[in-house]
Structure 1
Amino acid sequence: MSYQPLLMSYEQAAQLRQYVNTNSLIGLSIKEEIDALEAYMPIGIEIPGHGEAGGYEHNRHKQNYIHLDLAGRLYLITEDKRYLDYATTMLVEYAKVYKHRELNISRDSNKPGRLFHQTLNENMWMLYSSCAYSCIRHQLTEQQQQLIENDLFKVMLEMFVETYAENFDIIHNHGLWSVASAGICAYAINDQATVDKAIYGLKGDSVSGGFIAQLTQLFSPDGYYMEGPYYHRFSLRPIFLFAETIERRQPEIGIYQLKDEVIKTTAYAVMSTAFPNGTLPALNDSSRTMDIKDLGILLATNICFDRYEKNETLLAMAKHQGHVWVHNTGATLSNALQDNTEVPNFNWGSLSLSDGAEGECGGVTILRHRDAQADDSMALLWYGQHGSDAKLHSALDHGHFDGLHLSLFNNNQEFINDYGYGRWVNIEPKFGGRYIPENKSYCKQTIAHNTVVIDQTSQNQGSTAIAQQHFGEQHFTLMDNDSLQAMSAYARDYYPGVDQQRTVIMAELEGFEKPLIIDLFRMISDEEHSYDYPVHYNGQIIRTDFDYEANKSLNTLGDAFGYQHLWNLGQGKIEKSSLTTWLMGNTYYSLISSANENSEFIFARTGANDPDFNLRNEPMFILRQKAANHLFANVYETHGYFNEAVEASLNARGLVESVEVLHSDDNVSVVMIHLSNEKQLTVCVNNQVGVTAETKSNVAINGDQITWTGPVAIL
């Protein structure tokens, strides 16, 4: 047979047959997919009409294409004629009605399809249905082929490539789905002219549009995607499915080698941002629960292992995922993992990823540390460009106002976290799967993130247009010494007349159970402002070393920029230093903060002015300071153990007692950390642009000369 399925050959499908009913990872993955299909088929085939986003009709069409794809692939592998009949009937039924359907009603400014309210979902339907069709085409009659190709797929291609031509070439996450789905569909029906448009763009120049333009223009040199990991992982599905199809049909293009293996680079970029428990950082509009088990990352893990390099990190990713793609690449990965069952948890190490087409727009830096107990600690500092790529319509403004945001992780939990997005995904009665109003009024605002808010207003005035003119600037990274790592970045003019510098140090020190996190957040201004340093945590407050008053009646912390959604639970005055300890899971965490006179500590909780109860009720506290130039010197200490079941509590009090700022200016910052054993740690940072490992620093404090070499030292 000259015609071959798009993603596996008949011979490869036959080879996969040997794994059916085996206990290997590929065998178990095949069983999971068979079980899913067997559970769905008895529901019967239904082609519903129009419905709202996230509604019954939307979800039924979505489940139809998911199980149609399963039926096609599983027929090739198992040769079960029931799967062939099911896939054939579903494609024929869609073909009978599709071209007669009116366009759906768009729920935003995105173009509608005939099945879904936006073309993105229709692109996904076409991509998966085309893959299924390619698996069974050789078993269909010529009449069935003509009906499916002429009345379904060609009608869809005309809408996407011609009717919506202005969106087909857009360089964007949605544009990736558009060209990939069109190209895969065109391959499935042997329409090479449309394949060429999908690969090279409508003009055929590989610059103004098409898959090659997407790959060469959408990502930074380090592979980072401006909208953040949540949307980045979504782009991996069309990238890898289309690339694999191109490699099989037109290997002469060399798609996997394009632009110094950009496909591998961008896959590794999103994988390497993951927390040690597999969840992805909630940068910009992002779910707090999305993780590396996502299908896009699963595809990337399998194909990168097979096409690029068989490394231990990808093996560890697959072990965590607990599933492989039912495909020859999945079998390769499964067999390799079976030969290396002792592979440790994945670890991408400490790294920096640049943002912007030329890497010119800041980025994200991650520090990682694995201790003797194999526990991973991670600190993430984000300082890239505003994550809005609103080329298609305003609803694609996924950016948050969170420059210099910090997230911290250890003991298998993110203990200083980002709120993430506000969205009810595919939940029919709760805003139809769309972003909730509070996503704009709270989740995007600066106070919803662990970064300083000035004068109770958001960065860049909460304006996307202004934010798109600014991006962060890396100051330095220090990653060569596992016991002392650091990262530092600037955010200049995010607030008029104020520059900000954040330096985060991860230090493995004798006597401490986990690496100490030292966060030095410097505010640079000629005029006095009110500075709020928010900390988002989960858990129970255990103790403080200062007095505060809990409020008997609740008021909000403000009227705008997210403060209207925060209940003021209580507050206290701080004079020199403050200590707050909370319990999260089995672990105690303490935040020890420096203070000036008239510093204020505020306990707060989300949920105010939320009539539909959309926001999660989560605690936070705020360190408030009025000053011009100011340094927030904060230390995060992980300590102790708590187990309610056996009534055990150990080391509920940490070693750090207080923090004191000794000196801070444009040249250096020096902070002293006082410990309970009467010892002190002196933390030194060089603030000068261009600092290197050879830079020598010298400062006189109280008659003593303090000297060090490099950007950071702990004395």
Structure 2
Amino acid sequence: MSYQPLLLNFDEAAQLRQSLNTKTLLGKALTRDIAQTDEYMTSVGIEVPGHGEGGGYEHNRHKQNYIHMDLAGRLFLITQDDKYRNYIVDMLSAYATVYPTLESNVSRDSNPPGKLFHQTLNENMWMLYASCAYSCIYHTLDESQKRHIEDNLLKQMIDMFVVTYAHDFDIIHNHGLWAVAAVGICGYAINDQASVDKALYGLKLDKVSGGFLAQLDQLFSPDGYYMEGPYYHRFSLRPIYLFAEAIERRQPEIGIYQFNDSVIKTTSYAVMSTAFPDGTLPALNDSSKTISINDEGVIMATSVCYHRYEQNDTLLSMANHQQDVWVHISGLTLSNAVNDTKDIKPFSWGSLFVTDGPEGEKGGVGILRHRDAKNDDTMALIWFGQHGSDHQYHSALDHGHYDGLHLSVFNRGQEVLHDYGFGRWVNVEPKFGGRYIPENKSYCKQTVAHNTVTVDQKTQNNFDTARAESKFGQKHFFKADDSSLQGMSGRISGYYDGTDMQRSIIIAELAEFEKPLVIDVYRITADKPHQYDLPVHYSGQIIRTDFDYQTESTIKPLGADNGYQHLWNVGSGNVSGSSLLSWLHGNSYYSLVSSATPDSKVIFARTGANDPDFNLRSEPAFILRQSGQNHVFASVLETHGYFNESIEASVGARGLVSKVEVVGHNDSATVINISTTSGNGYTIAISNLSGDALEGQHTVEFNGQTYQWQGAFAIV
């Protein structure tokens, strides 16, 4: 068979050519890529920079060079304009002239350096995309051009990855995934099947100790979840799809898309299904707050899943939200489907529980979703999986956070209760070289930076990676059959010595409320009394409280370590019985009403203390501080009202929930009561039993009152 480009053969390119200058998603993507590539080719031309600081000019120039070579390759096939072909030839030839003369760059962390970049990960990415571009022009080159580019550039890069850094090549990790994909695609591009085999089956060719098939077999839980969380998971989708497409075209007998029960589809859906309704991905472990389903890897996944797996409405809704497709034959299939479909609803993957761990045995992520008549989605997420560490690869790249039972809530188009995410200024070289800032460890990874309980102002798992890796949560229950009353519950044990925790989240659609209530019942059992802090991280302005508080004229940090040193104490108030705190975020009012003990306190805080380089974002939080031994935090988040400053409109600034109290709790059950300003009351009962008993008939008595219900939870 004559040589065909790796990702887009000549017949497919001719089909995509018909979308030029159209208003379809593919047509718009082509118009964008042509404008971007033409501008780069004209303004920058052929430049091969030397070494520079991490994230600096040289780094970004090398990165932009490979991005635009890749774009130019596909544009050459689609438009048949030789300017794209000539650009790639000139760029690759220039690199081939320089590459053999370059010394290794200087590593900025424990990841070994390449010749172009400070870490081999970036060098893998460069070779992968450059190889894709090379395959698009291979058929136009004479033998001397091929020899120059392959012998002085591509083969030397392969040698670096499979010989010089052989000890990293087979590591089962997202960096290893990029390495095998880069070598495999390069091998296909230069007709080097021996290198392809190493990329597919590992250096030992055993399909287990390394290689792409081992990566697909070992990286993900049975539900497709990747332990480091959605931010790093979506990054893995690009090498997966680029290499998979090349394999399917060059070695279809492998059946890569059906491998391991179609794990490529499963793991793609696992990323997509965690997304908030606005498309952003939740910040689990080290995560950017801005990465969304518009990420390049997710766009690839959406297009290929629709083209190769199933043409379902959710993928169609995803593409309509993304307003983008991959410039590829799969993107044409999806683009045509969007163009031919009317009334595409907002995407929703529904409520689901995604397991973590290689056998699905290490907790996971619970997500409840509720869509109202106006297509507004309320989403609540709790995480209690394994520690998202990759320290087996490089200790400096431990992306795991140390706590469990974090809660995030989203509705009305915005994240209401949120996670800080990572502490990093990506590629902003004056800010610590664009790397993870020191505060990522001292604040972002600490438990107080999350919406979960700290004990005695300490971080869960003692901020110890080895201990954290030995711990993981367990699902207590997950029930989402009835959209008007959904619930999920997770448990963690021993994250603090002698302490067990159980968090149950219920989304309840009740007639008198504008939006579903998010009911949060956090139960702690301990072998001795402790101080318990439940931080609540929000955005917006405080509107009112039902308790008195004092602001601090001279602010001081809340503590000396465990993240508290980065929180300013800006005010506090003593509460008893119950506390109500309302804030305005965007056009919506939110109220959190929480149970309280006689010596409870609410502390108002803000990030930014002990931050000499102004690395941290200044964000508000409040902390519910209570003490005891066996203890329950019961809270209700109510969404209410509407505010529009431009027309001076404010409606429903006061919510209906007035009080939340814990009726009682023991090993069998927890019962709470919710009071409203209308005089209505709602009693919520949650079973604390396990196994078959969880689903049975329950009867408990607290304060002389008997409560009965069936199943894991109920309104009684």
What is the TM-score when the length of structure 2 is the normalising length? 0.99
2:114 aligns with 113
1:605 alignment partner AA: R
Q: Is the 8 A contact 2:673 2:682 kept in 1?
A: yes
1:506 aligns with 507
2:537 alignment partner AA: H
Q: Deviations over 1:252-295 (max 9, x none)?
A: 00000011100000000000000000000000000111000000
Q: Deviations over 1:21-56 (max 9, x none)?
A: 111111111000001101101222110001122111
- List aligned pairs for 1:377-396, cutoff 5 A: 377-396=378-397
Structure 1 position 11 matched with structure 2 position 8: no
Q: Which whole-Å CA distance do the structure 1 matches of 2:209 and 2:280 have between them? A: 35
1:313 aligns with 314
2:257 aligns with 256
Give the superposition deviation at 1:703: 2.6
Cα-Cα RMSD: 0.8
1:423 aligns with 424
Once the two structures are overlaid, the 10-residue window that deviates more, 614-623 or 96-105, is: 96-105
| Greater than 6 Å deviation, 4+ residue runs | none
- List aligned pairs for 1:9-88, cutoff 5 A: 9-42=9-42, 43-88=44-89
2:706 aligns with 705
Give the superposition deviation at 1:395: 2.0
- Report the 3-state secondary structure (helix = DSSP H, G, I; strand = E; otherwise coil) of the residue aligned with 2:658: strand
Q: Which whole-Å CA distance do the structure 2 matches of 1:52 and 1:188 have between them? A: 31
1:151 aligns with 152
Give the superposition deviation at 1:488: 0.4
* Shift in CA distance, 692/243, structure 1 to aligned 2, threshold 3 Å: farther
Once the two structures are overlaid, the 10-residue window that deviates more, 22-31 or 114-123, is: 22-31
Q: Which whole-Å CA distance do the structure 2 matches of 1:353 and 1:373 have between them? A: 27
Q: Is the 8 A contact 1:355 1:361 kept in 2?
A: yes
Give the superposition deviation at 1:701: 2.8
Give the superposition deviation at 1:692: 6.0
Once the two structures are overlaid, the 10-residue window that deviates more, 140-149 or 686-695, is: 686-695
Q: Which whole-Å CA distance do the structure 2 matches of 1:650 and 1:76 have between them? A: 57
Give the superposition deviation at 1:693: 6.8
Q: Which whole-Å CA distance do the structure 2 matches of 1:341 and 1:109 have between them? A: 51
- Report the 3-state secondary structure (helix = DSSP H, G, I; strand = E; otherwise coil) of the residue aligned with 1:645: helix
1:161 alignment partner AA: V
1:11 alignment partner AA: D
- List aligned pairs for 1:256-275, cutoff 5 A: 256-275=257-276
Q: Which runs of 5+ in 1 are unaligned?
A: none
Q: Is the 8 A contact 1:691 1:711 kept in 2?
A: no
- Report the 3-state secondary structure (helix = DSSP H, G, I; strand = E; otherwise coil) of the residue aligned with 1:475: strand
Give the superposition deviation at 1:595: 0.5
- List aligned pairs for 1:141-290, cutoff 5 A: 141-290=142-291
Q: Which whole-Å CA distance do the structure 2 matches of 1:431 and 1:109 have between them? A: 16
2:615 aligns with 614
1:650 aligns with 651
- Report the 3-state secondary structure (helix = DSSP H, G, I; strand = E; otherwise coil) of the residue aligned with 1:359: coil
2:479 alignment partner AA: L
Q: Deviations over 1:672-691 (max 9, x none)?
A: 10111111100000011225
- Report the 3-state secondary structure (helix = DSSP H, G, I; strand = E; otherwise coil) of the residue aligned with 1:481: coil
1:19 alignment partner AA: S
Give the superposition deviation at 1:347: 0.6
Q: Which whole-Å CA distance do the structure 1 matches of 2:136 and 2:695 have between them? A: 61
Give the superposition deviation at 1:576: 0.7
1:413 aligns with 414
Q: Which whole-Å CA distance do the structure 1 matches of 2:390 and 2:176 have between them? A: 11
Q: Is the 8 A contact 1:691 1:710 kept in 2?
A: no
Q: Which whole-Å CA distance do the structure 1 matches of 2:562 and 2:53 have between them? A: 30
Q: Is the 8 A contact 1:324 1:330 kept in 2?
A: yes
- Report the 3-state secondary structure (helix = DSSP H, G, I; strand = E; otherwise coil) of the residue aligned with 2:683: strand
Give the superposition deviation at 1:306: 0.5
1:100 aligns with 101
Q: Which whole-Å CA distance do the structure 1 matches of 2:60 and 2:545 have between them? A: 49
1:103 alignment partner AA: S
* Shift in CA distance, 549/325, structure 1 to aligned 2, threshold 3 Å: same
Q: Which whole-Å CA distance do the structure 2 matches of 1:320 and 1:241 have between them? A: 23
1:369 aligns with 370
Q: Which whole-Å CA distance do the structure 2 matches of 1:52 and 1:459 have between them? A: 36
Q: Is the 8 A contact 1:171 1:209 kept in 2?
A: yes
- List aligned pairs for 1:595-606, cutoff 5 A: 595-606=596-607
1:401 aligns with 402
- Report the 3-state secondary structure (helix = DSSP H, G, I; strand = E; otherwise coil) of the residue aligned with 2:646: coil
- List aligned pairs for 1:577-592, cutoff 5 A: 577-592=578-593
1:681 aligns with 682
What is the TM-score when the length of structure 1 is the normalising length? 0.99
1:344 aligns with 345
1:456 alignment partner AA: Q
1:593 alignment partner AA: S
Q: Is the 8 A contact 1:476 1:691 kept in 2?
A: no
2:562 aligns with 561
1:633 alignment partner AA: A
1:357 alignment partner AA: P
- Report the 3-state secondary structure (helix = DSSP H, G, I; strand = E; otherwise coil) of the residue aligned with 2:647: coil
Q: Deviations over 1:126-177 (max 9, x none)?
A: 0000000000011112110110011100000000011111111000010100
Give the superposition deviation at 1:402: 2.5
Q: Which whole-Å CA distance do the structure 2 matches of 1:336 and 1:679 have between them? A: 49
Q: Is the 8 A contact 1:692 1:711 kept in 2?
A: no
* Shift in CA distance, 254/21, structure 1 to aligned 2, threshold 3 Å: same
Give the superposition deviation at 1:694: 3.7
Q: Deviations over 1:639-687 (max 9, x none)?
A: 0000011111111111100011111111100001011111110000001
Q: Which whole-Å CA distance do the structure 1 matches of 2:275 and 2:207 have between them? A: 32
Q: Is the 8 A contact 1:573 1:600 kept in 2?
A: yes
Q: Which whole-Å CA distance do the structure 2 matches of 1:545 and 1:711 have between them? A: 32
Q: Is the 8 A contact 1:605 1:617 kept in 2?
A: yes
Q: Which whole-Å CA distance do the structure 1 matches of 2:467 and 2:63 have between them? A: 37
- Report the 3-state secondary structure (helix = DSSP H, G, I; strand = E; otherwise coil) of the residue aligned with 1:480: coil
Q: Which whole-Å CA distance do the structure 1 matches of 2:232 and 2:558 have between them? A: 32
- Report the 3-state secondary structure (helix = DSSP H, G, I; strand = E; otherwise coil) of the residue aligned with 1:697: strand
1:406 alignment partner AA: L
2:127 alignment partner AA: M
1:368 alignment partner AA: R
Give the superposition deviation at 1:314: 0.5
Q: Is the 8 A contact 2:281 2:293 kept in 1?
A: yes
* Shift in CA distance, 341/395, structure 1 to aligned 2, threshold 3 Å: farther
Aligned length: 715
Q: Is the 8 A contact 2:688 2:694 kept in 1?
A: no
Question: How much identity, in percent, do the aligned residues show?
Answer: 64
Q: Which whole-Å CA distance do the structure 2 matches of 1:525 and 1:692 have between them? A: 23
1:468 aligns with 469
2:382 alignment partner AA: L
* Shift in CA distance, 360/258, structure 1 to aligned 2, threshold 3 Å: same
Q: Which runs of 5+ in 2 are unaligned?
A: none
Q: Which whole-Å CA distance do the structure 2 matches of 1:607 and 1:704 have between them? A: 48
Q: Which whole-Å CA distance do the structure 1 matches of 2:686 and 2:94 have between them? A: 68
- Report the 3-state secondary structure (helix = DSSP H, G, I; strand = E; otherwise coil) of the residue aligned with 1:570: strand
Give the superposition deviation at 1:342: 1.3
Q: Is the 8 A contact 1:72 1:84 kept in 2?
A: yes
Q: Which whole-Å CA distance do the structure 2 matches of 1:587 and 1:637 have between them? A: 10
2:361 aligns with 360
Q: Which whole-Å CA distance do the structure 2 matches of 1:356 and 1:549 have between them? A: 46
Give the superposition deviation at 1:341: 3.3
Q: Deviations over 1:74-127 (max 9, x none)?
A: 011101111111111000000001111101000111111000000000000000
Structure 1 position 294 matched with structure 2 position 264: no
Q: Which whole-Å CA distance do the structure 1 matches of 2:369 and 2:120 have between them? A: 40
Q: Which whole-Å CA distance do the structure 2 matches of 1:89 and 1:207 have between them? A: 40
1:642 alignment partner AA: F
Q: Which whole-Å CA distance do the structure 1 matches of 2:438 and 2:693 have between them? A: 46
